[in-house]
Amino acid sequence: MAENQFFIDSDKLSGEALAHKHLLETDPSSRTNHMEYMEGMERISPEIREKTLAAMEAYDYSKYTARDVRMALAHETCSVEDFKALLSPAAAPFLEQMAQRAKLETSKHFGNTVYLFTPLYIANYCENYCVYCGFNCYNDIHRKKLNAEEIEHEMKVIADSGIEEILMLTGESRAASDVHYIGEACRLARKYFRNVGLEIYPVNSDEYRYLHECGADYVTVFQETYDSDKYETLHLMGHKRVFPYRFEAQERAILGGMRGVGFSALLGLSDFRKDAFASAMHIYYLQRKYPHVEYSLSCPRLRPIINNDRINPLDVHEKELCQILCAYRIFLPYVGITVSSREQKHFRDGIVKIAATKVSAGVSTGIGDHESKYTGKENADAGDEQFEISDGRSFDQMYGDMEQEGLQPVLNDYVYV
- Average of per-residue pLDDT across 123-130: 89
Q: What is the pLDDT of residues 278-304, one digit of tens each?
A: 999 999 999 999 999 999 999 888 765
Question: Phi and psi at residue 62, in whole multiples of 5°?
Answer: -75, -15
Cα–Cα distance measured from residue 169 to residue 340, given in angstroms and rounded to the nearest whole number: 14
Distance of CA 259 to the CA centre of its chain: 17
Cα–Cα distance measured from residue 284 to residue 52, given in angstroms and rounded to the nearest whole number: 9
Asked if 205 contacts 157 with a C-beta cutoff of 8 angstroms, the reply is no
What's the pLDDT score for residue 13?
59
Among 262-271, 339-348, 383-392, the range scoring the smallest mean pLDDT is 383-392
Residue 387 has pLDDT above 90, yes or no: no
Q: What is the pLDDT of residues 139-161, one digit of tens each?
A: 777 888 999 999 999 999 999 99
Calculate the average pLDDT of the chain.
89
Residue 174 has pLDDT above 50, yes or no: yes
Residue 10 has pLDDT above 60, yes or no: no
Residue 396 has pLDDT above 80, yes or no: yes
| Segments of 171-311 assigned E as strands | 195-199, 218-224, 235-237, 260-265, 294-298
Strands 235-237 and 260-265: unpaired
Cα–Cα distance measured from residue 62 to residue 55, given in angstroms and rounded to the nearest whole number: 15
Question: Phi and psi at residue 25, in whole multiples of 5°?
Answer: -75, -30
Coil, strand or helix at 120: strand
CATH class for domain 15-410? alpha beta
Asked if 47 contacts 72 with a C-beta cutoff of 8 angstroms, the reply is no
Cα–Cα distance measured from residue 223 to residue 402, given in angstroms and rounded to the nearest whole number: 30
What's the pLDDT score for residue 237?
85
pLDDT bracket for residue 41 (50, 70, 90): very high
Cα–Cα distance measured from residue 392 to residue 306, given in angstroms and rounded to the nearest whole number: 19
Return the higher-pLDDT residue of 385 and 67. Answer: 67
Nearest by Cα to 373 from 88, 158, 77, 210: 158
DSSP at 301: B
Q: What is the pLDDT of residues 224-234, one digit of tens each?
A: 999 999 999 99
DSSP bridge pairs for 121: 169, 367
Coil, strand or helix at 282: helix
What's the pLDDT score for residue 157?
94
| Segments of 86-128 assigned E as strands | 113-123
Cα–Cα distance measured from residue 298 to residue 133, given in angstroms and rounded to the nearest whole number: 17
Predicted model pTM? 0.90
Q: What is the pLDDT of residues 68-123, one digit of tens each?
A: 999 999 999 999 999 999 999 999 999 999 999 999 999 999 999 999 999 999 99
- Average of per-residue pLDDT across 6-29: 67
What's the pLDDT score for residue 30?
83
Q: Side chain identity at 43, as an amino acid letter?
A: R
Domain ranges of the chain: 15-410
Among 168-177, 207-216, 367-376, 390-399, the range scoring the smallest mean pLDDT is 367-376
Asked if 239 contacts 3 with a C-beta cutoff of 8 angstroms, the reply is yes
Asked if 294 contacts 109 with a C-beta cutoff of 8 angstroms, the reply is no
Coil, strand or helix at 170: strand
Nearest by Cα to 106 from 331, 371, 387, 381: 331
Question: Phi and psi at residue 367, in whole multiples of 5°?
Answer: -110, 115
What's the pLDDT score for residue 134?
74
